């Protein structure tokens, strides 16, 4: 059996058609798109085509609203720093407790610089309270940044509605959509979203390429100043091959959108149903009714995620975990903590994230090994006794803090 | 994935002595469920000979936590309790052919479970003297709590000071922003302002003839002996565990162990040692020894 890759929210395999599209731009059409000679001839045209392919996938009104960047993180930083530089008198930012570190770390840094950061909490299912959000909106807020879909649980936030609310209050709205683009249909021209971040490697383009969607008319201050590339909004010679690759990947994502939402979702559903039916004391985290079609995040109680991953890896299966140990930090994932998942479960969360390359056969293979892996580790757990958790696990085992 | 040694993997995939020992008469439970690592160690001790006849572990934790627990049980089986207490976390890590710096705490947890189990057997109360914070310096495995204590205790002002006293930041330097963050916070609490350009604390001028390690150890013992009456008056004591170059590792025992003032006391000892020895001496709780040992090895 060949290895099974179920970590597509971390990164994806580059589609072979994307690689084919990119190759000529390394060795034949390697010219600088700004140059006037035949080595650069096709490059400017190829960039324009890629811009339109991205535009089509996200339903932007103009192709000039697409700014190519180096990654999702750069797009996020550009968006937030632009908003505060363009509106120096506004000293507040609204975000959520479950954003990606690309947003949270930047906000923590800005907090030290004197900004007030409002972090919207989530409930146990990972959902936001829009009344609380409404109360935070004011003319003091420079920007709202809320992810479209959560990378760990796949939970989708109502960003279209939240952008309307921000717009009504005269506040800019940014969404980190790196997990959502290509997995759920979007038509940005019908929304009030001002800025949106895309990361190429999450949708079968290579790493090192991203996009910031910038609605026409949104006040903007570049992060990188220099040459006239990207209409002066992101200086630096274009990563031409990767831009072409991202364009192709967007075209393919649009083609596979239905497949993603029917077949990929069916694999995800089969896996999580199978696991929950076969394995006691595990549960799916996040908003079950409102999730990305490819993601499931399952908490296996009384055992630890890194140990599960090591056994999965031995069985040739790649997934990821929200446990502290996989990140080298002392706390389990901030997303699990924000949802108030108990520690005995939060450390045992495993995220399986699918792509169009997975098969139902692979799902069955995972279902064959998963119960054994969980049972093996539970045998070692001080919270487990024979066939079930010990009575009152939190009381039965109370280690001294060490 | 972590770069685990083959031995770590072997103990994880094929753990030895998993589960609780039947008829155990020594139980140690340590760890922190919030940090995702907790261990229950059960021992069967021969009451006549004091020999550990059987050992078992139950661990909630990552691969290296399970491997550390497993190897610990292998090491101590057949040992007397007194010999077992001499097993350090570094011994556990060595037996596993090393652990990544972020995972050294797993070996510390093993040693502490052992101490807790022995205390349990002897009817004593085991107190944890070890607090762990977020890992700041990955080169030398120094955490935020250690840095903060040293900044407080020694009135450190600059990143260079922190590096001199703890080694943190002395490697790749990527953590200097985090160290500055700690300095900013502590100095603010102290009513001072962090100045990145401040001069570092002057190293005590070295004598012309540096001490040999033997001379140094003897002198350190003398100083500790002279301070002992004071400590014992407060119901505590200090024990010299190891001297490596100009670093002295000490155990604070009795009332000093876990005392809020332990860090202050250690700073006082360090000050006195530097005065008497006429050279720079660093005093570090022995519980931190593994971290510096990692540095020496790496």
Rounded CA-CA distance A188/A47 in Å is 21
Q: What is the average per-residue pLDDT within B176-202?
A: 90
Q: pLDDT-derived band of residue A30, with 50, 70 and 90 as boundaries?
A: very high
Question: In the predicted model, is pLDDT for residue A387 greater than 90?
Answer: no
Q: What is the pLDDT of residues B102-124, one digit of tens each?
A: 788 888 889 989 999 999 999 98
pLDDT > 80? residue A367: yes
Of A313, A323, A402, the CB nearest to B32: A402
The minimal CB distance from B18 to the residues A311, A343, A379 is found for A379
pLDDT at A329: 61
Name the residue of chain B whose CA is nearest to A393's CA.
Answer: B33
Helices (H), A119-233: 130-136, 159-168
In this complex, the residue of A303, A313, A399 whose CB is nearest that of residue B31 is A399
- The residue of chain B nearest to residue A319, with distances taken between CA atoms, is B1
Cβ <8 Å between B39 and A382: yes
Provide, rounded to the nearest whole percent, the portion of chain A with pLDDT above 70.
97
Do the chains contact at A382 and B38, CB–CB below 8 Å? yes
The residues on B that touch A, with CB distances below 8 Å, are 1, 9, 12-13, 15, 18-19, 29-40, 57-66, 102-103, 108-109, 112-113, 116, 126, 128, 130, 132-135
pLDDT band at A334 (very low <50, low <70, confident <90, very high): very high
Residue B35 pLDDT > 80, yes or no?
no
pLDDT on residue B260: 55
Task: Evaluate whether A16-255 and A257-384 have a shared fold.
Answer: no
Q: How many CB pairs under 8 A join A and B?
A: 114
Contact residues of A toward B, CB < 8 A: 302-307, 309-311, 313-314, 323-326, 328-332, 343-344, 347, 379-383, 397-402
Q: Residue A50 — very low, low, confident or very high, per pLDDT cuts 50/70/90?
A: very high
Domain formed by A16-255, architecture: 3-Layer(aba) Sandwich (3.40)
pLDDT of residue A73: 98
Q: Do A330 and B116 touch (CB under 8 A)?
A: no
Q: What pLDDT was estimated at residue A161?
A: 98
Domains of chain B: 6-121 (3.90.1010.10), 135-189 (1.10.10.1100), 213-297 (3.30.300.130)
Residues of B in contact with A380 (CB under 8 A): 15, 18-19, 57-59, 66
A241 pLDDT band (50/70/90 cuts)?
Answer: very high
Distance from CA of B286 to the nearest CA of A (A): 15
Q: What is the pLDDT of residues B234-250, one digit of tens each?
A: 778 888 988 888 888 88
Which residues of chain A make contact with B38, given a CB cutoff of 8 A? Answer: 382, 397, 399
Q: Which of A310, A313, A399 sits opposite B29 (nearest CB)?
A: A399
Q: Which 3-state string (H, E, C) describes chain B? A: CCCCCHHHHHHHHCCCCECCCCCCCEEEEEEECCCCEEEEEEEEECCCCCEEEEEEEEEECCHHHHHHHHHHHHHHCCCEHHHHHCCCHHHHHHHCCCCCHHHHHHHHHHHHHHHHHHHHHCCCCCCCCCCCCCEEECCCCEEHHHHHHHHHHHCCCCHHHHHHHHCCCCCCCCCHHHHHHHHHHHHHHCCCCCCCCCCCCCCCCCCCCCCCHHHHHHHHHHHHHHHHHHHHHCCEEEEEEEEECCEEEEEEEECCCCCCCHHHHHHHHHHHHHHHHCCCCEEEEHHHHHHHHHHHHC
What's the CATH class of domain A257-384? alpha beta
A282 in active site: no
Does ipTM top 0.90? no
Q: Do A400 and B33 touch (CB under 8 A)?
A: no
Give the pLDDT band of residue B202 (cuts 50, 70, 90): low
The mean pLDDT of chain B is 84
**pLDDT tier, A152 (very low <50, low <70, confident <90, very high otherwise):** very high
CA distance A354 to chain B (A): 20
Contact A136, A118 (CB under 8 A): yes
| Position B298 confidence tier, pLDDT thresholds 50, 70, 90 | very low
Q: Is the pLDDT of residue B294 over 50?
A: no
pLDDT of residue B219: 87
Range scoring the smallest mean pLDDT among A163-167, A322-326, A348-352: A322-326
B116: closest CA of chain A, how far (Å): 9
> Does A148 or A400 have the greater pLDDT score?
A148
| Residue A121 pLDDT greater than 80, yes or no | yes
Contact B1 A313 (CB under 8 A): yes
Sequence spans of domains, chain A: 16-255, 257-384
Contact A324 B134 (CB under 8 A): no
Quick check: B261 pLDDT over 80? no
Range name among A200-214, B129-143, B258-272 with the lowest pLDDT average: B258-272
Residue of A nearest to B60 (CA): A381
- Radius of gyration (C-alpha) of chain B in whole angstroms: 20
């Amino acid at each position: 059996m060949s290895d099974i890759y179920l970590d597509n929210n971390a990164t994806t395999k580059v589609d072979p058609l994307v690689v084919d599209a990119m190759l000529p731009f390394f060795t034949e059409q390697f010219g600088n798109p700004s140059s006037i000679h035949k080595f650069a001839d096709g490059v400017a045209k190829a960039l324009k085509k890629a811009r339109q392919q991205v535009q089509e996938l996200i339903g932007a009104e103009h192709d000039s609203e697409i700014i190519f960047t180096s990654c999702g993180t750069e797009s996020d930083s550009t968006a937030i720093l632009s908003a505060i530089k363009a509106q120096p008198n506004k000293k507040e930012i609204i975000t959520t407790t479950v954003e990606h570190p690309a947003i949270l770390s930047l906000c923590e840094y800005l907090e030290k610089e004197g900004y007030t950061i409002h972090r919207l909490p989530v409930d146990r299912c990972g959902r936001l309270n829009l009344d609380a959000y409404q109360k935070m909106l004011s003319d003091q807020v420079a920007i709202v940044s809320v992810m479209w879909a959560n990378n760990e649980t796949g939970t989708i936030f109502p960003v279209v509605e939240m952008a309307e609310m921000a717009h009504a209050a005269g506040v800019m709205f940014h969404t980190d959509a790196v997990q959502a683009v290509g997995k759920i249909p979007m038509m940005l021209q019908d929304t009030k979203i001002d800025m949106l971040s895309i990361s190429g490697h999450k949708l079968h383009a290579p790493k090192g390429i991203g996009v910031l969607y910038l609605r026409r008319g949104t006040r903007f201050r570049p992060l990188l100043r220099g040459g006239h590339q990207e209409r002066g909004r992101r200086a630096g010679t274009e990563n031409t091959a990767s831009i072409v690759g991202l364009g192709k990947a967007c075209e393919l994502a649009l083609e596979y959108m239905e497949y993603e939402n029917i077949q990929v979702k069916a694999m995800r559903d089969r896996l999580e149903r199978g696991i929950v039916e076969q394995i006691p004391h595990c549960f799916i985290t996040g908003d079950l009714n409102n999730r990305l079609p490819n993601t499931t995040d399952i908490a296996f109680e009384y055992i630890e995620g890194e140990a599960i991953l090591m056994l999965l890896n031995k069985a040739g299966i790649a997934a990821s975990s929200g446990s502290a140990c996989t990140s080298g930090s002392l706390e389990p994932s901030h997303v699990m903590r924000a949802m108030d998942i108990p520690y005995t479960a939060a450390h045992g969360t495993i995220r399986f994230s699918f792509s169009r390359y997975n098969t139902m056969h692979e799902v069955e293979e995972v279902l064959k090994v998963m119960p054994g892996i969980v049972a093996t580790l539970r045998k070692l757990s001080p919270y487990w006794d024979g066939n079930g958790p010990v009575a009152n696990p939190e009381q039965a085992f109370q280690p001294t803090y060490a | 994935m972590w770069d685990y040694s083959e031995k770590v993997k072997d103990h994880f995939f094929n753990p030895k002595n998993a589960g609780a020992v039947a008829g155990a008469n020594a139980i140690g439970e340590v760890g922190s469920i919030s940090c995702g690592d907790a261990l229950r160690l059960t021992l069967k001790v021969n009451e006549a000979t004091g020999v550990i006849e059987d050992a078992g572990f139950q661990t909630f934790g990552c691969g290296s936590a399970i491997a550390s627990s497993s190897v610990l049980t292998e090491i101590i089986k057949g040992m007397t309790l007194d010999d077992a207490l001499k097993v350090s976390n570094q011994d556990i890590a060595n037996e596993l052919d090393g652990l990544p710096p972020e995972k050294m705490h797993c070996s510390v947890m093993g040693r502490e479970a052992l101490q807790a189990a022995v205390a349990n057997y002897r009817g004593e109360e085991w107190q944890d003297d070890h607090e762990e914070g977020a890992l700041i310096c990955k080169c030398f495995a120094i955490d935020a709590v250690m840095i903060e204590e040293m900044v407080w205790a020694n009135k450190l002002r600059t990143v260079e000071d922190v590096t001199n006293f703890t080694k943190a930041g002395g490697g790749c330097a990527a953590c200097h922003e985090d160290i500055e963050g700690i300095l900013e916070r502590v100095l603010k609490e102290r009513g001072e302002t962090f100045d990145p350009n401040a001069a570092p604390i002057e190293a005590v001028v070295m004598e012309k003839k540096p001490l040999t390690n033997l001379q140094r150890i003897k002198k350190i013992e003398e100083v500790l002996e002279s301070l002992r009456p004071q400590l014992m008056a407060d119901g505590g004591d200090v024990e010299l565990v190891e001297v490596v170059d100009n670093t002295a590792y000490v155990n604070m025992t009795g009332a000093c162990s876990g005392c809020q003032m332990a860090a202050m006391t250690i700073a006082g000892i360090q000050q006195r040692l530097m005065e008497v020895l006429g050279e720079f001496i660093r005093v570090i709780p022995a519980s931190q020894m593994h971290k510096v040992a990692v540095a020496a090895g790496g």
